[in-house]
Structure 1
C-alpha cells in the first residue's frame, strides 16, 4: 500500500489536530486553569466536535498534557546524561532543561502526574550518583529529589530583583535565567550536605 493511502492521511490529520489541541490547551490553561474544552477548541481553530473526538473529557486532555510533558522530562534526563556525565554537570544541565520546560509548559508543569515513575527513577539515579561522587552527603535519593523539586519551584518564581539572585555569579552578566539555575544548583547541593568548596569546584571545573 502506498505512502499516501487514505488511512495514512487520516492518521496524519489526526496527529496534527491533536498537536494543535495540546498546544492550544497549554496556552489557554496557563491563563485560566478552568477553561472549557470549547474555549480550547476555539483557540486551536478547530471544531468543538473535533476536540471531543480526540479527548472525550477534560481529564483525558489533562492526561495527554501530562504524558507529553513526561516524555520531554525523559528526553531531558537523556540529554543531561544523568547516567554518565559528571553528576554536578548533569544536575546543572538538567536544571537548564527543566527551566526551559517551565517556560514552554507553564500549565502542564503543575501536573504531578507528569512525574512518572520513570522520571522519578532518573532523578533518583542522579542524586545517588551525586552522593557517590561526594557532592552531597544525604543518603536517600528520594528525599534529595523532593528537596530539589521544592527548591526548583521556589527559585523559578523569584522576582528578577531578588537579593538571592544578586549573590549569583551569573547575575553579573544580566542573565536572569542562568542566575536562577546557578542559585538552584548551589542551594540544592548545599541543602543536601555538599561543601561550598566542592560545589564551586564542580561547577567551575
Structure 2
C-alpha cells in the first residue's frame, strides 16, 4: 500500500513538473513538441506521454489549470462578497497577473470557462445593483468586459494610458475606469 501512495505522489509531482514546463516552453514556442516539454521538465518523453497521451490532452490540462487560477482570482478579489467596484479592480489585477504569467495558456480555447463567466456575470450584476453599471444586457456587459480586458492587456508597457506606474496596477485601474465609464451612469 505504501508503494501505491508513493507512486501516486510521484505521478502528481511529475504532472505538476510537466505542466510548469509546458507553460514555459509553449509560451516561447507554441508549436514545440512534447519532447521539448519533457526535457524542460527533466523527465523522459515516455513519462510525459504516459501522463498526456496527446498534445490535445496536455493543452486541455493547461486550460483546466488556468481555469482553476481564474476561479481562485475571483475568491482572492472578494468578487462576490466585497464592495463591487473595489472587487472589480482587485479581480482585474489578478487577471492581468495571470495573463502575464501564463501567456500561452491564456489563449487556449475554452478559457475562461462557463463557471468563471458566470462569476463575472454575477460581479457585473452586483455592480449594477450598486449603480456602478447601468447597462442591463448581461451578454453585452460580459462581451464589453472581456474585450476590454484583452485590449488593456495588449497595450504596450510604455503606453501613456498606463502612466508608467506599476504595470499590473495601472492596467487594472485603466480597465476598471474604462469599463465603468462604458457601462455606467451617463454612458447610455
Gaps of 5+ in 2: none
Which TM-score applies when normalising by structure 2? 0.94
Q: Work out the CA distance in 2 between the residues paired with 1:139 and 1:10.
A: 53
Is 1:16 aligned with 2:7? no
**Deviation of 1:165 (Å):** 2.2
Q: Work out the CA distance in 1 between the residues paired with 2:33 and 2:87.
A: 39
Q: RMSD of the alignment, in Å? A: 1.5
Alignment map for 1:16-165 (pairs within 5 Å):
16-165=13-162
Count the aligned residue pairs: 187
Aligned residues of 2:52 and 2:58 also touching (Cα < 8 A): yes
**Deviation of 1:140 (Å):** 2.0
Aligned residues of 2:93 and 2:171 also touching (Cα < 8 A): no
- Runs of 4+ aligned structure 1 residues displaced above 3 Å come to none
Q: Work out the CA distance in 1 between the residues paired with 2:14 and 2:21.
A: 10
Q: Which residue of 2 aligns with 1:180?
A: 171
Q: Which residue of 2 aligns with 1:191?
A: 182
Deviations 1:149-170 (A, max 9, x none): 111111122123222223xxxx
**Deviation of 1:131 (Å):** 0.9
Gaps of 5+ in 1: 197-205
Q: Work out the CA distance in 1 between the residues paired with 2:167 and 2:174.
A: 10
Deviations 1:114-145 (A, max 9, x none): 31211111000000111111101111223212
Which TM-score applies when normalising by structure 1? 0.86
Question: Compared with structure 1, are the counterparts of its residues 84 and 195 closer, same or farther at alpha carbon in structure 2 (3 Å cutoff)?
Answer: farther
**Deviation of 1:30 (Å):** 0.5
